[in-house]
Amino acid sequence: MQRCSWTGNDPLMIAYHDTEWGVPVHDDRKQFEFISMEVMQCGLSWMTVLKKREALRSAFANFDVQKIALYDEKKIELLLTNGGIIRSRRKIEAIIKNAKAFIKVQEEFGSFDSYIWRFTDGKTLEYPGHADGTVVIARNELSDTISSDLKKRGFSFLGSITVYAHLQAAGIINDHRDYCFCYHH
């Protein structure tokens, strides 16, 4: 079975690729988990985040935005002592800030899912050259647009490159290679 080469031979990376990455996400909690993981990944390897995923789920109330939005300075200080997570004050504060902004988006659009998928009319996009590997990018006009809109809505740590990674993970952009068995999911 062939898969995208970035998975390497690591079982954790393979499981993530085979069961989650690029599968269209329509669950708000999962969207927020993916966004938060992308925030934590900034400047680090994806493997680092995957290895800390269970600790992050525990530390961030299974990515329940209502609970995270209530985190205060005392909770931030406690999280900074948690060796199981990425202990970056700026990233922890960004996740809390993003939870508050996420709730506002849910209130305005009915769900974050409705908000994010409206940028593609509810369809997964594929760009020419991505599937065969002739075009490899880390951001595009769509991620620029969404990143800008998210920033206006109060989100942080979600620049265009981070948003592009989220769009890939959440199946909004199909960036599986055409030889990968997940390409047609």
- Number of domains, the chain: 1
Tokens at 172, concatenated: 């909004």
pLDDT of residue 185: 59
Q: Is residue 179 situated within a structural domain? A: no
Q: How far is CA 138 from CA 48, 70, 160, in A?
A: 19, 33, 8
pTM of the model: 0.95
Full DSSP string of 155-182: --S--HHHHHHHHHHTTSB----TTSTT
Q: Tell me, yes or no, if 38 is annotated catalytic.
A: yes
Domain that holds residue 35: 11-169
Domain-located, residue 3: no
Residue 99 domain-assigned (yes or no): yes
Q: What is the DSSP track for 3-24?
A: --GGGTT-HHHHHHHHHTTTSP
Q: 4 in a domain, yes or no?
A: no
Question: Residue 115 catalytic?
Answer: no
CATH number for the domain harbouring residue 67: 1.10.340.30
- pLDDT (0 to 100) of residue 144: 97
Taking 70 as the pLDDT cut, the residues of the chain under it are 185
Clarify whether 183 is annotated catalytic: no
Does residue 123 lie within any of the structural domains? yes
From the candidates 6, 21, 33, 46, which is the catalytic residue?
A: 46
